[in-house]
Amino acid sequence: MADPMRIRAQAAGGNATVRVLMNHEMETGQRKDAAGKTIPAWHITDVTASHNGKPVLSAEWGPAVAKNPFLQFTVKGAKAGDKIAVTWKDNRGETRTDEAVVAA
Amino acid sequence: MQSRRAILQHSTAVAGLLAATGLFPREAFAWNAAAFDGKTIADVMKAFGSSAPAESKAVTLTAPDIAENGAVVPFVLATTLPNVKQLLLLVEKNPNTLVAKFDVSDAVEPNFSTRAKMGQSSDVYAVAITSDGKAHFAKKEVKVTLGGCGG
């Protein structure tokens, strides 16, 4: 299965800035392989994040998001020790969730 | 060091908690194909049921003037508008214009960074859709020296 996401959550001024680096090919479906066949699209379609179990972010992505996607967002009112979980789901139905704790 | 069993139990508990919130309904994972298939800005806005966007200084799009590598172009979308429901990233000349849509909730700041692929030099738009269905945008021209769609 995919490698784990790298999540760094940093508390700053009453909020937490969360940076996520996901591992995913994000194939656009535009490329052709050596034989000339189109490589099918394979990309993350949905991303959600939660703060201490409460959903705080959802996003829908198309194939144009870069390979090994980077995402940064800021959760309001998050403090050190809080849990941030990020989940992605791709167009093959595969999914992955990783968690991190907000650092001071 | 936690035993494997403890780790598995913990993961199941977390998954159970997330499912139990009831806030991950099936609809949330129904990918908006109509919007992502849109080939022009107008197509995408129509798919969101929103009017044609109006340029606004309250929406910001930070992007490089020249992207060295079209496969990885960094963007920051932000807005100071109140009652924003969604922030969209659109690359006009990409095969499919809509790159990403972020749902803005009260729990996050309307400010997101990500990286996207650009097939060629193009105008890039950050669009904020407010709860009244109006769309506001900021646009920036980004030149690409090496296209990112691999074609």
Q: Which of B14, B101, B114 is closest, CB to CB, to A70?
A: B114
Q: Tell me, yes or no, whether A30 lies in a domain.
A: yes
Contacts with A, B 10-49, CB within 8 Å: 14-15, 17-18, 21, 23-24, 28-29, 31-32, 35-36
Supply the pLDDT for residue A18: 97
Fold of B32-144: Immunoglobulin-like (2.60.40)
pLDDT of residue B21: 40
**A1 in a domain, yes or no?**
no
Q: pLDDT in tens for each of the 104 residues of chain A?
A: 568 999 999 999 999 999 999 999 999 998 899 999 999 999 999 999 999 999 999 999 999 999 999 999 999 999 999 999 999 999 999 999 999 999 98
- List Cβ neighbours of B129 (8 Å cut-off, separation of 6 or more): B48, B50, B84, B85, B86, B87, B88, B135, B136
- B36-A47-B123 Cα angle (round to 5): 40
Structural domain boundaries in chain B: 32-144
Provide the number of structural domains found in chain A.
Answer: 1
Q: Is A66 on the interface with B (CB under 8 A)?
A: yes
The beta-carbon neighbor of A72 closest among B95, B101, B112 is B112
By the 10 Å C-beta count (0-12 exposed, 13-18 middle, 19+ buried), B150 is classed as: middle
Owner of token pair 């803005």: B104
CA dihedral B22, B26, B27, B28 (to 10 degrees): 70
State how far the Cα of B33 lies from the Cα of B47, in Å rounded to an integer. 9
CB atoms within 10 A of CB A53: 13
CB distance from B115 to chain A under 8 Å?
yes
What's the pLDDT band for B145 if we cut at 50, 70, 90? Answer: confident
Q: Which residue of A has its CA nearest to B92?
A: A64
Range of the domain at A60: 6-101
pLDDT band of residue B29 (cuts 50, 70, 90) is very low
A71 touches chain B (CB under 8 A): yes
Instruction: Give me the residues paired with residue B84 across strands.
Output: B130
Rounded to two decimals, the ipTM of the complex is 0.93
